[in-house]
Structure 1
Amino acid sequence: MEEGNSQSGSVTVMWLGPMSSVDSCVSDQEHAWACNLGQTRQQRFLGSRAWMRSCLSDLWGVPAQEIPLHAPPGAPPSMHSGWGFVSLSHSQGSALMAWSSAPVGVDLERLNRPFASEALMRRYYALSEQHQLKGLPKQAFHQSVLEHWLIKEAAIKWHRGSLAQDLSHWVVAADGLSASHQGKGLQVDAHCRQLGPWGIAIVSACEQNLTGTRVCLS
């Protein structure tokens, strides 16, 4: 993956940045959805949708409110037919979004996020993953558990699944470059990296779809 400030012809583009505090470019439908949310969730919802629309407006050269984005609260965002595919992840006031010509999934986590890595691994990771991870030094182990988590969550978003139902079924390959769903026979290619204080992952069913992906810092 490359860093940059524009799509530069890539078939997949990612944006990473703080969610907008200005909601002037959200749609009337998004405003209506927001009215049914509590104040904190409403601000996060409107901020994330305004930010998504701003990024996609730059990509397509279309006014933000005219972007055919369908992103109700609590549901995976989607674009109208012919406009490609999007995936969104947010954490602590920042967001990661990918747009691609084929389905993608992304996840974003702070690298310094505190969590019980060994307990998480034993509860949700397959025996093959546990065998590969538990021999690592402490710091590398913690980082690798987090990277596996990022890929698993991105894969769940790619196939629009459920964290509760699918997390333990997604198994990340030893090289961290792919993952497979043991119950549904699904497989994706994966890229995972660190960017500043963040860990990010993106997955797609086609490796070519991830080649040359650009990360735009908004």
Structure 2
Amino acid sequence: MVSSKDSQVSARRVFGLALPALGVLAAMPLYLLLDTAVVGRLGASQLAALGAAAAVQSVVTTQLTFLSYGTTARSSRLFGSGDRQGAIAEGVQATYVALIVGFGLACIMWLFGGQIALWMTGNPETASLAASWLHVAALSIPITLVEMAGNGWLRGVQDTKRPLYFTLAGLIPGAIAVPIFVHWWGLVGSAWANVLGMGIITLLFLLELKKQHTGSWRLRPS
């Protein structure tokens, strides 16, 4: 039986888990503020196109937060029962789901991004700009979902520092690339900077999963 003293969790431990997780949640909005400020200097049409395209991209990805929070719940249940490898294995399955769903959504963006942009903007010129952003940013959909799954299983094993380090390792180069890429390629440069930043983050999560997982890599549809 666990004594009440052993079951107590210190405030230091709670904040040690919560503050890095808060940093991960705050990092992306700050990056988007920079992205918006840089694109805004291109002109009103480009800013309007970015607003419409980013709204579509946000809806596509944020509606799949179960990949993060659902994975955290499943992983933490196993981790709490002493099955660390089982908790990490939940991250493997969540990553498969992220890749399958992500590539499906990316294909939808490649096929119908122009029509979706036109519905969002109601202006052919703005829609064309938004569609060009969406077609490039579609590459970041599966990697963003993999990043969400990575956050999920690492939080489940009570590691919130690595997700913060990985996020900063990707978003800082992405933030540096935004003004450079936008200068070179205009609005589409913003999308490429996003792909770069998220790609680095996702690669780090995948490497960490490979490092920690020692069981089967087989996809389990159940």
Structure 1 or 2: larger helix share? 2
Structure 1 or 2: larger strand share? 1
Q: Which has the larger radius of gyration?
A: 2
Q: TM-score range by the shorter chain?
A: under 0.3
TM-score, structure 2 as length reference: 0.27
